[in-house]
Structure 1
Amino acid sequence: MNSDNNKTNMKKEDFFFDLPEELIAQDPLEDRSSSRLLVMDKETGEVSHHVFREITDYLNAGDCLVINDTKVIPARLIGAKVGTDAKIEVLLLKRKEVAASVDEAGQATGTDTVWETLVKPGKKAKVGTKISFGDGLLVGEVIDVVEEGNRLIRFTYDGIFEEILDQLGQMPLPPYITHQLQDKNRYQTVYAKHTGSAAAPTAGLHFTPELLREIEEKGVDIARVTLHVGLGTFRPVKVENILEHHMHSEFYHIDEEAAQKINRTKENGGRVICVGTTSCRTIESAADENGRLKECSGWTEIFIYPGYRFKALDCLITNFHLPESTLIMLVSALAGREHVLAAYEEAVKERYRFFSFGDAMFIK
């Protein structure tokens, strides 16, 4: 991070653009790879228009594509307050601990797990409140209130938590998507593997197994990293001076194989191309000053905005983000705010689809 003086007061409104509401995509396209692709040169700001499957034309042998293989959990639960039957919605954010419940004889009787959650309406969820989901299949008890009014809830159940969640939970779509999702898998990438996200790494939604195969056949390495996306992704920037904005922490993991692929690409003069801001934030959190990586895991609160010097990433495939979001700030750090806002203006004019189920951009 350099210390430009102009960074001391970067305003949220510097990242504003006019986005007609009807351009926020409400449903995924039938064919993932048929979304549109705006290609932009980060040095000149020049743009051209394509279809996503043509991304292969812009990837070269010796490049490395970094993908985030996190899997979204159906983290939105609708329950009833025990005693009053009032409706309460719970969104699972972060798993804190898992423990087996034991009876008086010391026998395991089931399991409980504690999660940090977002509860609506919060005022009905005081410490001690019990919430029943699926007629008691899952029962939650509020055990603490943590930062920003989030609740720690201990869930008790019989069986396997993930299976119960699959049965009762809904996909936690962002608030801007009002349509009900018909097929849960459309909010997962085709390479989703490790469960733990409260939101999808949406730039990856455009890839099909066929497209990934074609990319590998071209001599492009694919490195899989994991970052469990938290709701900080959608959290609006509320402060005027963006440097005062605090990111939520998210868990990431990079294994030995992915680290070696990225390091080898760097050494051989290839480009490291991240699919999505989450892959970008993972490798930038873990890279040393020379852009080298090693196997590691941890929590990151990295916030990337103009003035940031990228250590590992060369190019980025990303969706179109909302005005004044931390995501458009990250993209502006890579390609320059003026270039990005001009490209977004062009995308609005050309009626590109925005956000999670929308179209994509390749910043080269």
Structure 2
Amino acid sequence: MKLSDFDYELPEELIAQTPIEPRDSSRLMVINRSSGSIEHRVFREIVEYLTPKDVLVLNNSKVIPARLFGHLENKQVEILLVQKVKERVWKCLVRPGKKIKPNVSVHLNGAIAARCLDKCEEGMRLIEFSVDDEELLKVGEAPIPPYVRTKIPLERYQTVYAKVAGSIAAPTAGFHFTETLLQKIRSIGVKVVEVTLHVGIGTFRPVKVENVEEHRMHAERYSIPAEVIEAIERAKSEGGRIIAVGTTVTRTLETFARTNLREGETDLFIYPPFEFKIVDALITNFHLPRSTLLMLVAAFAGYELTMKAYREAVEKRYRFYSFGDAMLIL
């Protein structure tokens, strides 16, 4: 498929700038792959589509305050922590990139120095900080996506079940869940389990090639507890469904299906056509045009149905992207 196949027109005012409160009051588009039907609901009503045999899989990764600001030659510099190499040394995205060359130091928050050691792939820099990670993250901010122009506190750029620190972007499909809603889902017999995939640069890096299959994902670390695999196998044998909350959970489970490894790194790129071996239903947000996230949704729901759903979402004024509304694909 071509990159241009995944383009669509989106009015800028539909890009959600603030999270909705309460979390589960967002809108929910429900798509049925077999019938092609599209329903419009409220997210908390998702319980009506679940059964006691189902397994709901969450990504419990926690976003770190990875966005740092400093000064160089009286100009502001922004540093985004991308991947830890060792204590005090990270691969980072920097802006403006032309200023940050090897042996150049940026001063953060007064006493903290960030020295560029080398240039890396994809325009990144290898940067050594003068303090340990615990001290460094105290001065960081939430790595809010660039299309969100309002300042959002880090605690609101997390799911309510975030536990394991390591992501530089939130697994946003989980934003719609509240503790109360999760308890209600458990109360009807649904098994709720957690995996970890630390969202890195690969999830939101733009696709720059017209032939989709030539794109390469950056590897992201994941971990699946043994009891999660047991719950999935049990549900499958009893006719239950595996419902992935988000594209990160989908990529984690489908990586396991192909490697049989419960932990490691995944660079799995899902685009049409794709055979899903574990995931039966998907909860996700509305994604950027031309993004790998939209390609994954199209692989799962079918290309034509996905693009039809996106056109309808625009027509009915759904809220898009990280703080936007949700979609359930059955």
Asked whether the two chains share a fold, i.e. TM above 0.5, the reply is: yes
Structure 1 residue 288 displacement after superposition: 4.1
Give the residue type in structure 1 aligned to 2:229: A
Correspondence list, 1:39-188, <5 A: 39-81=30-72, 84-98=73-87, 113-136=88-111, 138-157=112-131, 161-165=133-137, 167-181=138-152, 183-188=153-158
Contact 1:45 1:343 in 2 (8 A): no
Structure 1 match to 2:225: 255
Structure 2 match to 1:245: 215
Superimposed CA distance per residue, residues 229-285 of structure 1 (whole angstroms, 9 cap, x where no aligned partner): 012222221111111111111111111122211121112211000000001011111
| Cα separation, 2, equivalents of 1:156 and 1:267 | 53
From 15, 19, 22, the counterpart of 1:24: 15
| Cα separation, 2, equivalents of 1:76 and 1:304 | 28
* 2:98 partner SS: helix
Structure 1 residue 162 displacement after superposition: 3.0
| Cα separation, 2, equivalents of 1:231 and 1:176 | 16
Larger Cα Rg: Structure 1 or Structure 2?
A: 1
Structure 1 residue 18 displacement after superposition: 1.1
Matched, 1:214 2:184: yes
Structure 1 runs not aligned, ≥5 long: 1-9, 99-112
Structure 2 runs not aligned, ≥5 long: none
| Cα separation, 2, equivalents of 1:288 and 1:240 | 27
* 1:287 partner SS: helix
| Cα separation, 1, equivalents of 2:4 and 2:12 | 18
Give the residue type in structure 2 aligned to 1:257: E
Structure 2 match to 1:341: 307
Superimposed CA distance per residue, residues 163-194 of structure 1 (whole angstroms, 9 cap, x where no aligned partner): 541x311111111111111x321110000001
| Cα separation, 1, equivalents of 2:76 and 2:297 | 39
Contact 1:45 1:335 in 2 (8 A): no
Give the residue type in structure 2 aligned to 1:21: E
TM-score (norm 1): 0.88
| Cα separation, 2, equivalents of 1:45 and 1:156 | 56
| Cα separation, 2, equivalents of 1:260 and 1:121 | 48
TM-score (norm 2): 0.97
| Cα separation, 2, equivalents of 1:234 and 1:338 | 23
| Cα separation, 2, equivalents of 1:17 and 1:318 | 18
* 2:91 partner SS: strand
Give the residue type in structure 2 aligned to 1:316: L
| Cα separation, 2, equivalents of 1:194 and 1:55 | 26
